Structure 1
Amino acid sequence: MEIFDPINTPLTGTNLIEASAGTGKTYTIAGLFLRLILENQLTVNQILVVTFTKAATEELKERIRNTLLDAKSALLKNSSHDVFVKTIVNKYDNRALAIQLIQDALMDFDNAAIFTIHGFCQRILHENAFETQSLFDTKLVADPTGLTREIVDDFWRRHVYSLPMEFISYLLKKISGPEYFIRLLTKNRTTDVKIVPEIGKPELASLNDFRALFKRLRTIWPNSRIQVTHLLKDSSLSGSVYGSLKTVAMQAGISKRDLMVASMIESMDKFVDINSAGFPLFKGFEKFTATKIENSTRKNYRPLSHEYFDICDSLYHKGVSLESEMETYLMYFKVQCFKITREQLLVRKKQNNIQFYDDLLIKLKKALEDNGGKNLVQIIRKKYSAALVDEFQDTDSFQYNIFTRIFDSKKNTLFMIGDPKQSIYSFRGADIFSYMKAARNTDSKYTLIKNWRSDPNLITAVNTIFSNIKTPFVFDKIGFEKGISGKKIRSMKERYLPGLTLWYLGENKKAKTTKPLSKTESVSVIAKAVSGEISRLILENKNNPSHDIHAKDIAVLVRTNRQAQIIKKNLSLKGIPSVLYLTGDIFHTHEAMEMERILLSIAEPGNERAFNAAVVTDILG
Structure 2
Amino acid sequence: MSEQLLDGPARDRIKTDTDATLFVEAGAGSGKTHALVDRVTTLVLRDGVPLRTIAAVTFTEKAGAELRDRLRVEFEKARKGPAGPLADEALDDLDSASIGTLHAFAQQLLLAHPIEAGLPPLIDVLDEVGSSVAFEERWAELQQQLLDDDSIAEPLLLAMAVGVELKHLRSLARLFGNDWDLIDERVLVDPPELVAMPDLTGLIAAAAQLGGAVDSCRDPEDRLLPKLHAIRDLGVMLEAATDQESQLSYLQALRGLKVGKIGRKENWPDVAKMRSDCAEVVEVAGSLVELLLDACLRHLSHWIAERVLESAEVRRAEGRLEFHDLLVLARNLLRRDASVRSALHERYERLLLDEFQDTDPIQIELAVRIAAGADGDAPDWQDVEVPDGRLFVVGDPKQSIYRFRRANIATYLTAQDLLGETVTLTTNFRTVPPVLDWINHVFSTLIQPQEAAQPTYHALTPHRTTTPTTA
1:362 to 300, 303, 328: 328
Q: Deviations over 1:522-559 (max 9, x none)?
A: xxxxxxxxxxxxxxxxxxxxxxxx538xxxxxxxxxxx
C-alpha separation in 2, matches of 1:48 and 1:448: 22
- The corresponding residue for 1:379 is 343
Q: 2:390 corresponds to which letter in structure 1?
A: T
C-alpha separation in 1, matches of 2:222 and 2:403: 53
C-alpha separation in 2, matches of 1:344 and 1:131: 20
Q: 1:120 corresponds to which letter in structure 2?
A: F
Structure number with greater Rg is 1
Contact 2:37–2:67 (8 Å) recurs in 1 = yes
Contact 1:6–1:31 (8 Å) recurs in 2 = no
Cα 1:379/1:321, change in 2 over 3 Å: closer
2:162 to 166, 170, 176: 170
Contact 1:24–1:452 (8 Å) recurs in 2 = yes
Give 1:420 shift. 1.5
C-alpha separation in 2, matches of 1:108 and 1:162: 61
Q: Deviations over 1:352-404 (max 9, x none)?
A: 5522222222222222222xx22222211211211111111123332211111
Contact 2:252–2:285 (8 Å) recurs in 1 = yes
Cα 1:397/1:301, change in 2 over 3 Å: same
- The corresponding residue for 1:395 is 359
Give 1:479 shift. 0.8
Q: 2:463 corresponds to which letter in structure 1?
A: G
C-alpha separation in 2, matches of 1:317 and 1:444: 55
- The corresponding residue for 1:298 is 265
- The corresponding residue for 1:153 is 143
C-alpha separation in 2, matches of 1:477 and 1:309: 46
- What is the count of residue pairs matched by the alignment? 423
Correspondences of 1:72-471 after superposition (within 5 Å): 72=79, 76=80, 95-96=81-82, 98-143=83-128, 144-149=131-136, 150-151=138-139, 152-154=142-144, 156-158=146-148, 163=155, 167-172=159-164, 177-191=168-182, 192-195=184-187, 198-206=191-199, 230-232=221-223, 277-281=249-253, 285-287=257-259, 298=265, 302-303=269-270, 316=282, 319-346=285-312, 348-349=314-315, 352-370=318-336, 373-408=337-372, 409-410=386-387, 413-423=390-400, 425-469=402-446, 471=448
Contact 1:206–1:321 (8 Å) recurs in 2 = no
Q: Deviations over 1:556-611 (max 9, x none)?
A: xxxxxxxxxxxxxxxxxxxxxxxxxxxxxxxxxxxxxxxxxxxxxxxxxxxxxxxx
Q: Deviations over 1:71-99 (max 9, x none)?
A: 44xxx4xxxxxxxxxxxxxxxxxx43x12
Give 1:333 shift. 2.8
C-alpha separation in 2, matches of 1:463 and 1:313: 51
Q: 1:415 corresponds to which letter in structure 2?
A: F
Contact 1:51–1:115 (8 Å) recurs in 2 = yes
More divergent stretch after superposition (34-43 vs 200-209): 200-209
- The corresponding residue for 2:52 is 45
- Structure 2: segments with no counterpart, 5+ residues: 1-5, 211-217, 235-245, 373-385
Correspondences of 1:547-558 after superposition (within 5 Å): 547=470
SS in 1 for 2:441: helix
C-alpha separation in 2, matches of 1:233 and 1:193: 50
TM-score (norm 1): 0.58
- The corresponding residue for 2:239 is none
Correspondences of 1:526-605 after superposition (within 5 Å): 546-547=469-470
Give 1:124 shift. 1.9
C-alpha separation in 2, matches of 1:380 and 1:200: 45
- Structure 1: segments with no counterpart, 5+ residues: 77-94, 218-226, 235-260, 492-545, 549-621
- The corresponding residue for 2:18 is 11
More divergent stretch after superposition (147-156 vs 11-20): 147-156
C-alpha separation in 1, matches of 2:124 and 2:446: 51
Greater relative contact order structure (CA < 8 Å, 6+ sep): 2
Cα 1:190/1:487, change in 2 over 3 Å: farther
Contact 2:158–2:296 (8 Å) recurs in 1 = no
- The corresponding residue for 1:254 is none
More divergent stretch after superposition (121-130 vs 435-444): 121-130
Cα 1:158/1:416, change in 2 over 3 Å: farther
User: Quick one: percent identity of the two aligned structures?
Assistant: 22
Contact 1:18–1:448 (8 Å) recurs in 2 = yes
SS in 2 for 1:108: helix
Give 1:411 shift. 6.4
Cα 1:310/1:457, change in 2 over 3 Å: closer
Give 1:198 shift. 4.6
